[in-house]
Amino acid sequence: MCGIVGYIGNKKAGPILINGLLRLEYRGYDSAGISTIEKDKISIMKDKGRVKNLYNLPGINDLEGTIGIAHTRWATHGKPSKENAHPHMDNSKTFSVVHNGIIENYHELREFLSSNGYKFYSDTDTEIIPNLVHYYYSKDENNDEFKFLRAFKNACSRLLGSFAIEILCKDYPNNMIVVRKDSPLVIGKSDGENYLSSDIPAILSFTRNFYLLNDYEYAVLSRDNVKFYDKDLNEINKKTETIEWNASSAEKDGYQDFMLKEIYEQPTAIRETIGSKLNEKLECSFEELDFTKDYLKGLNKIYFIACGTAMHAGLAGKNMMEKLCKIPTEVDIASEFRYRNPLVDDKTLCIFISQSGETADTIAALKLAKSNGAKTIVITNVIGSSITREADYSIYTHAGPEIAVASTKAYTSQVVLISLLCVYFADVLGMDNPNVTNLKEEILMLPKKLEETLKDTKKIKDFAKKVYQEQDIFFLGRGIDETTAREASLKLKEISYIHSESYAAGELKHGAIALIENGVTVVGIMTDPNLVDKMVSNLQEVITRGAKTLIITNQDIDEKRFDVVINVPKTSPFISPILAIVPLQLFAYYISKEKGLDVDKPRNLAKSVTVE
Ligand code: G6P
């Protein structure tokens, strides 16, 4: 949701801020703006639309300020417009603010400020912040070096909701202050300059040393220093963390789009995921975990909880966990789990999956599970992300930064990590199951098989060209293939805007088959040898009604019955989603390209959803 950037140093802030926003645009892209301090005055330049529009604003190249804050917006309060774009100033033009998150009590605060004479010019919740800061600032008669910080802290302690806020004050031209609560924010430390960003990749080309803020911690940035304070403004010490990702991993590297690059990065990404967790001797270890056989044996249930694509990774894990470890396993959508009083206690293990580690619903669900006594594991890609600070155990996918909004390599690496976790649990439990050994062997072969899957993509590209103008596309699968159908359907919706449904193939005849008519496209996924015959029968039902069929399979089937058949390498059915999804990621990608859409930044979506 919204991306924020900040810079203080000796260079002109304007170009650095816009550059940072361009890299954060995947977090939101309906309006953008920057604020700098120019000769002791606050300057704000902003506009509706994409970040690149900022380059056309008169005077933007004349900005001299070496301190500034910036924002790219994904609208929550107030439609996308210049007035609602950030940064926002207070009435006296002393402060400017950018904010990511939602202020839940903004109506009440707006009324309070209005009754004290403040005027508002936007529909945003954010505009109350600079004015509330001004309210406290104007009442403080002590003109010491902490006056700005005090006023900001007094204002923030009245805010409810989630926020990452950067603020400038014209009276303190050598300081910028930030705070966060349930919204991401990192501080990049460099020589004589410091950076702020919602995400590490946006500032990775400037530094690999980062400070991470906890909720309600304040950071005061100057050119040579960053000072930290707790919620009561006691000074605290923090050490930097070094991030191993290199800057080029956040660039397109010659690919047309991040999504295509990330699809092709999957073999490397999952090699990293497997890393030292599983060796050639088929020994599996998770140093992060300390579960005993008794603990695992005593579990009444395992939950996978997540949103969107990450939830599909959980679905892929359910069958594996139940079959290999004999522990009942459920998958839940985080926003549903939270509100249905789930049966969770100290004998429940809750595994949360989140690429970004910042998804508000997933974090809230984790807090709930913890408060019910469950142990919590998070599977995430982002070291130091908010959720890792809440979970009992954090396990990293190591997929490298994922920039495209539609998730690809994050998904496959999540499924790989979950499969490793399943075999690890099976080992701890002492399960004597040939499937476990077979699965381990297959996991080790996955990177090569993924490379093979990506070698020839012509057939899928040609099929995408044929069907890109269609209104509806259906995805069918049974068992584990239904998970792939769901994820493929989501990918297609997200980036092509084609209406799409995924169905458990056996369920189609109980309703949705009414939608199948002459010429409609149906994609069938068949990787489970036990279910192939049943799948073929279900597909025959749609062919009879005139459907065109695209088949993704690793089974020997009579290919003549279908329009196009894409073969993927054989593997253990438990992990077939990792290979079967790849042609379907490309299917969505090529359709989106054919329609001339912005693949990496689909409409209305944001990569990380930090509102509930
Ligand atoms: C957003 C993204 C999806 C993602 C979901 C969960 O909706 O657009 O691609 O799957 O959030 O994100 P997370 O970071 O928690 O995996």
**Residue 340 burial (C-beta neighbours within 10 Å; 0-12, 13-18, 19+):** exposed
In this structure, which residue's CA is closest to atom 15 in ligand 1?
Answer: 354
Same domain, 131 and 217: yes
Taking only the tens place, the pLDDT of each residue in 250-289 is 677 778 899 999 999 999 999 989 987 999 999 999 999 9
The confidence score (pLDDT) of residue 182 equals 79
pLDDT level of residue 1 (50, 70, 90 thresholds): low
Asked whether the predicted pLDDT for residue 79 surpasses 90, the reply is no
On whether residue 607 sits in a domain, the answer given is no
Residues 139 and 285 in one domain: no
Q: Residue 287 and residue 283: Cα distance in Å, rounded?
A: 13
pLDDT at 249: 66
566 and 417 fall within a common domain: no
Do residues 136 and 92 share a domain?
Answer: yes
Q: Please give the pLDDT value at position 389.
A: 87
Q: Whose CA is nearest to atom 4 of ligand 1?
A: 308
Which residue, 176, 208, 243, sits at the end of a domain? Answer: 243
The pLDDT value recorded for residue 252 is 75
- Rounded Cα–Cα distance for residues 170 and 37 (Å): 7
User: What span, in angstroms and rounded, lies between the C-alpha atoms of 611 and 163?
Assistant: 10
**pLDDT tens profile 37-49:** 999 899 999 999 9
CATH number for position 319:
3.40.50.10490
Q: Which DSSP category does 43 fall into? A: E
Question: Which one of 224, 243, 262 terminates a domain?
Answer: 243
Residue 2 designated active-site: yes
Same domain, 37 and 68: yes
The number of the ligand 1 atom at minimal distance from the alpha carbon of 311 is 10
Q: Are residues 320 and 270 in the same domain?
A: yes
pLDDT of residue 246: 66
Task: Give the span between the Cα atoms of 151 and 372, in whole angstroms.
Answer: 37
Give the pLDDT of residue 247.
Answer: 62
Interatomic CA distance for residues 550 and 580, integer angstroms: 13
Q: Which two structure tokens, joined as six digits, stand for 503?
A: 């169905």
- Same domain as 434, residue 308: yes
Give the pLDDT confidence score for residue 580 in this predicted structure.
Answer: 98
Question: Tell me, what's the pLDDT at 382?
Answer: 85
**Which of 204, 220, 243 marks a domain boundary?**
243
Is 601 among the domain residues? no
pLDDT-wise least confident of 109-123, 197-211, 577-591:
197-211
Cα of 305 from ligand 1 centre, angstroms:
12
* Cβ pair 43, 24 in contact under 8 A: no
Residue 493 lies in a domain: yes
Query: Are 386 and 336 in the same domain?
Result: yes
Q: Are 80 and 119 in contact (CB under 8 A)?
A: no
Residue 576, pLDDT > 70, answer yes
Tokens standing for residue 592: 């989106």
443 lies in the same domain as 471: no
Residue 70 lies in a domain: yes
pLDDT for position 248: 63
Let me know if residue 157 belongs to a domain: yes
Give the per-residue pLDDT at 216.
93
Token match 């940072």: residue? 20
331-376 residue pLDDT tens: 999 999 989 889 999 999 999 999 999 999 999 999 999 999 999 9
Indicate which CATH number applies to the domain containing 88.
3.60.20.10
Dump pLDDT digits (tens) for 520-573: 999 999 999 999 999 999 999 999 999 999 999 999 999 999 999 999 999 999
Give the mean pLDDT of 95-122: 95
Q: Which two tokens stand for residue 498?
A: 């084609």
Task: Give the residue, out of 29, 200, 309, with the most ligand 1 atoms within 8 A of its beta carbon, to mutate for a pocket test.
Answer: 309
Q: How far is the CA of 307 from the centre of ligand 1 (A)?
A: 6
How many domains is the chain built from?
3
574 secondary structure, DSSP code: G
Confidence of residue 231 (pLDDT cuts 50, 70, 90): very high
Is 37 among the domain residues? yes
Q: Based on the fold, state whether residues 8 and 147 are members of the same structural domain.
A: yes
Cα(362) to centroid(ligand 1), Å: 10
169 is catalytic: no
Taking alpha carbons only, the member of 33, 114, 121, 32 closest to residue 83 is: 121
Length of the chain: 612
Is residue 388 pLDDT above 80, yes or no?
yes
Is residue 603 situated within a structural domain?
A: no
Same domain, 525 and 380: no
3-state secondary structure of 523: strand
- Residue 612 in tokens: 């509930």
Q: Which of 46, 440, 493, 607 is catalytic?
A: 607
Residue 521: domain span? 458-594
Query: What are the pLDDT digits (tens) for 8-34?
Result: 999 999 999 999 999 888 777 789 999
With respect to residue 608, please indicate whether it lies within any of the assigned structural domains: no
Q: Which residues line ligand 1 (CB under 6 A)?
A: 307-310, 354-356, 359, 362, 405, 407, 605, 607-609
Considering only CA atoms, which residue is closest to atom 7 of ligand 1? 308
pLDDT at 197: 94
What 8-state DSSP symbol labels residue 12?
-
51 and 108 within one domain:
yes
Active-site residue, selected from the candidate residues 2, 169, 307, 325: 2
Contact 406, 601 (CB under 8 A): no
Q: What are phi and psi of 421, to 5 degrees?
A: -65, -40
pLDDT tens digit string along 309-322? 999 999 999 999 99
